[in-house]
Structure 1
């Protein structure tokens, strides 16, 4: 399915197109798309060539798309064919509804989509493709007849797109541009004169019903990723999200850990062997409550510094167990690929990342913003979000209460004044936050602030006569925050309140502390030993399988096949192998109803 394409995609560009990992952009603010094309499960709208190769002559196709994929919006100047099925038109796009009648039934909606996109782009309007929202059971078709009916699509789609890319309107009104483009379509023999007349009649009808045509935008919205690596709070940034159609997660787990086993063997560690079959592993993991819950969670791995190495190793360890694993931090592909002696496996596909420049993440001070950015991607059907530092280790078999926020240590040092005295990221940031709230009219921010204040009052951090501002200005309390979990019930609130904190540069340990003060949350039973305070070298003695997470565990120590790597394989990867592949249940977990620390 890697080479599936929609009906109307120019055949000459199937292997020679410019869509790829370097083309996706994540923007916080965008205009709403005027046309939304929904994907469909089972038998999507591909062309007859694809069906002749892949479809069953009686039952057609049986395709299932990844249920976690987000919507994709095409920026002006980017084209893709879309059809007349499962397509929503906003009123701003009613002027491009007309289907041409001088071309075949298998061509008309594709030609409409190309014509429409050029007209929409003149007004700064866009088309988006939304995740699956329907299942199509297609009526019986003669694939060869479809092939003949699509002949113009095969021969002219590429020509139309090249023509549209170079075409400019000579007029100042969008309706005049429609007439001009319709006439030029006739000149280029893309459709007949009847369609030029039809466009003119349709415009007259729209005028009669007082339709308001959109204007032509001289200055188009820019959806280009910022190239200024010192700019704070950019609107658009580099990102990449790809989703596999395969359901063979168990085989992927076996293959990945096989690579890790070979990597361990390089350090003279006994090869991790004795693996179950993919079928047996699948059955065992389907019966595991925690692993099944993680299949609906996304794991976000955050690096405080530019990524240099280790992504491939982290992918092999975690990727098959989650709906998606996303890497966030300053990511420069050439710099990463050229880093010498990585000592870890190659990066795997799919590789999902969000780039945040060094000014924005600032040595990890503002790393919590990565989770806000991930939420803004709009992944579908996600139950929870796990935030993890790249130098933390996560025992994924450990149970947490997936219905509420989880934080390893919770209200770690509630009276600490550390970091509040910082001249930028401490109390001055709190004052900037309060000033913003006092002056904003943004209802979303005000609602989040109200929830923040209510939570602080509910859990006893402020009295009935105090406000959230009083709590922020108290200048005490922080929580070390290298691992935490946010359920979908709290992610909207998290994203809004934490964006306020980020935009005013509140330090991570202070920002997360204030957030978890305001929500009911669970903490780990092994709070004190989850962090290696000033004693990083003792991780082999401190680590145990009953932890949810441990920090820090620096992957840089294991780049070379030496004693450090051998210890890592023995103390951490061997238990991983025994628990996840050999069904060892020799560990304890915290149940959802066990007591928590402070306002858990």
Structure 2
């Protein structure tokens, strides 16, 4: 461990300022991820509100004409109560292990990328021509290719008697070829009905999102769509509570093999010499519900939707494919609370083979920039509209105004809701929000204990063999030491491809990462400050984080070895040549 930093000044204030310029001989591989990517098409990067006033859609719900399935419609004889919907993607046959199950109807939806003559054992196919003939308003908003085209299949299934829709990926093999054994398909939706489930505690009002992979034995792995600053929260639950399971209208299953992880995890944990990922979750861990006020990422690869949540099947059409289901998941969870429903996360239900081809990082870059802001926005959003569909439209409008998706999605959602009315879908009734009522104290008898396992995993390209993860232990130690320290990074070059990398590198260690640059960028939350006069701007940052334990300042051509500073005295002003940080340059500002 390094020696204590020699002080050059002392202070009794907790707001000691750490002025530190440090460097490594080589930047981490993570930083290279951003240099080759262009601007993403995702609307999630639009962090500032749109300048013009967007017209609010006018919908006369009582005048929406019915749209029954006619003999002239595509696949006129197809009816079922249990549906499996997936995209007809051009994967090789051996990469489509999804099988047909008794009592379930497989339905594939084509797009421009679907090859001629495509087929899947036991599946019906909705071609592009079929989709155009269905008469749904929302079809005209669907992109030419991508998973968002599944909206046509969802509506088709609802029109043909669906009570449950399983949102699937053809590359996933369901364990035992039996969905009913893995999910709660037949719910007792009466008040207080259904089995009793374990539920995350609502004791911490500041916790708004959780990583369910921790509960299922993989604390070092995080799902795509989890804010990266939350990836370091790997502690297990002190206790759980219990809840009746009749309202679990959305059920998210986990995936063994290659789980649903983001490109940051995949590309930083995978070395060229490593074999394909084969991550295993704890199949014996109990399913776990999320209370109102707590969210988790939801994907479109292994998710069960019950009829009261069919409105939540729609995938946004104006954002990138890798962002679409993430945004849908958070949007749907918030609306779910309006009808007393909840998300429940299930043990592994499918296996997906790692074909050693990660999706481009640029496709999901915008998720990492603003998903935290989206969650905070959804927590604060309220509506007084009298019906569920009016509230869904109200939220969709607010998300358009805030720049989480484009105006095209607002019109798509209006058309989607009208299509649901047209095919005979009945809106669930509204219920009062639990998060707006005083929460009852959690008594000792209400607390339930469960100790998650720590299963073997992979960490930074190194396979873990033991039961205890050294990396996770270090992460907890670093976060505990620097968790109330603010890092300030001054960028000397263009920030469009560098600002995010610093947040990814330092975000799960420090309380906050403030980016300064000669040219500000509101979309990337980069603040404008001339380097030569940074000392004039820093007091603004100090005031913003008045309760912080300290501040570290460095330039972007250097990388901080924070792990060498655990013994440095945080009550002193640091000089970098007194601590082991591989110093190249050191400048101290007189404040």
TM-score bracket, shorter-length normalisation = 0.3 to 0.5
Higher helix share: 1
